[in-house]
Amino acid sequence: MEMLGRTRDDLPTPSPLVDLDIMAANINKMSRFARAASVGLRPHVKSHKCAEIARRQVENGAVGVCAATIREAEAMAEADIRGLLITSEMVGRDKVVRLIQLTRRQPETMSVVDHVQHARDLSEAAQANGVVLNVLIDIDPELHRSGIPAGAPAVALAESIQKMPRLNLRGLQCYSADSSHVPGHAARKKHSTEAMLPAIETFLELKRRGMPVDIMSGGSSGTYDIDTALEGLTELQAGSYVLMDVDYRRIGGMRGAEFDDFGQALTVLATVISRNHAGQATVDAGYKAFATDRPFGPVPKDLPGVTYRFMGDEHGLVEWRDDSDRIRLGDRIEFVVPHCDPNVNLYDRIFCLRAGTVEAVWPVARGYA
Ligand SMILES: Cc1ncc(COP(=O)(O)O)c(C=O)c1O
């Protein structure tokens, strides 16, 4: 059924909506910021998994995009988005074969390594297939999620990689997941600076040793104005800024308790399907409509004083304190999502609205396979 031209009132629910004007403002703001800071912007597409959004980021000056999975990277390549950096280790035959195919298509593609055995495996696969694989060393900001420790272990890995045929070491990546959501700008600055400096110092050490490395990549939406001030960071990997979510709202910004540097572009639209009790209404959006990885749920947009509570897979309860009839059966309610990345992954398509009307419908490269 044709969706273009529809309004909130006649779209299927629950559905994700993107406000195109707010998204464009977010893209422009981050691009301008990165340019002014003389840092390359390689936005992370894990937040949206959508080639059309990536296209707009690149058209606005991004040097390429980051992807978390081979599936995301392939979806970007199919849409001819260039300058891919896969920020997770591509280990195992399936991923390595696909990485090589991707590199044949886009030779500048990069991925990350954090272990000499992995580097050897990639080098052997590259030799067997006659390609050159570009790699960054993934530095662990002492989180133990992925990455090799900064300093001597990373330098030793870099020296080993340099001797391996058909591996091209471009530099380092360090992503401090813990830093991005530290509440309060000052505390976040301290946390992220402490996490990032050892990686940056290692990058500078590789340069001092004459290695031809040119990329020091890292950072997030929460630390975009912190990490880019660190001398030595060459690229910013921020992702969520383009869509935003409740999780980021809560971290606080330079100006106050809300992190409002970027606008809320993504919402999920739901319908009030039951309305029998004072101050309560049920919407058709529950655990399957919203990411559930955070200790808080979605927040109704533009409805101050109205709260949401999960009520099951397909149900959610909105509540308000006064006994007014402000929410009625059949009403449409937009919710700011708890966490944009896993939320986007729940849907096949995003409805893109401008001035309240659907202007485009964009596919989401969800899933893994
Ligand atoms: C490796 C990496 N880089 C960058 C990001 C972007 O972070 P954010 O979406 O918080 O901007 C993520 C997000 O999880 C990530 O995993």
What average pLDDT score do residues 112-129 get?
98
Ligand 1 centre distance from Cα of residue 192 (Å): 13
Is the CB of residue 47 below 6 angstroms from any atom belonging to ligand 1? yes
Ramachandran angles phi, psi of 218, nearest 5°: 175, -170
**Torsion-angle region of 163 (φ positive above 0: left; ψ -120 to 50: alpha; else: beta):** alpha
Res. 85 pLDDT band, cuts 50 70 90: very high
**Three-state secondary structure call for residue 103:** helix
**Three-state secondary structure call for residue 113:** strand
Is the CB of residue 111 below 6 angstroms from any atom belonging to ligand 1? no
On whether the CB atoms of residues 367 and 361 are closer than 8 A, the answer is no
Is the CB of residue 134 below 6 angstroms from any atom belonging to ligand 1? no
Instruction: Give pTM, 2 decimals.
Output: 0.97
For a ligand 1 pocket test, name from 30, 237, 250, 251 the mutation site with the most ligand atoms within 8 angstroms of its C-beta: 237
On whether the CB atoms of residues 352 and 367 are closer than 8 A, the answer is no
Query: Mind giving me the DSSP string for 262-283?
Result: S---EEEEEEEEEEEETTEEEE
Ligand 1 centre distance from Cα of residue 13 (Å): 29
Ligand 1 centre distance from Cα of residue 67 (Å): 9
Res. 324 pLDDT band, cuts 50 70 90: confident
pLDDT(369) > 80: no
Is the CB of residue 282 below 6 angstroms from any atom belonging to ligand 1? no
pLDDT at 323: 74
Is the CB of residue 220 below 6 angstroms from any atom belonging to ligand 1? yes
pLDDT in tens, 249-292: 999 998 889 999 999 999 999 999 999 999 999 999 999 999 99
Distance CA 182, CA 96 (A): 35
* CA 289-364-175 angle, 5° bins: 90
What average pLDDT score do residues 203-230 get?
98
H helix runs in 218-261, sequence order: 224-227, 246-249
pLDDT at 33: 98
Measuring CA to CA, which residue among 163, 60, 72, 156 is closest to residue 111?
72
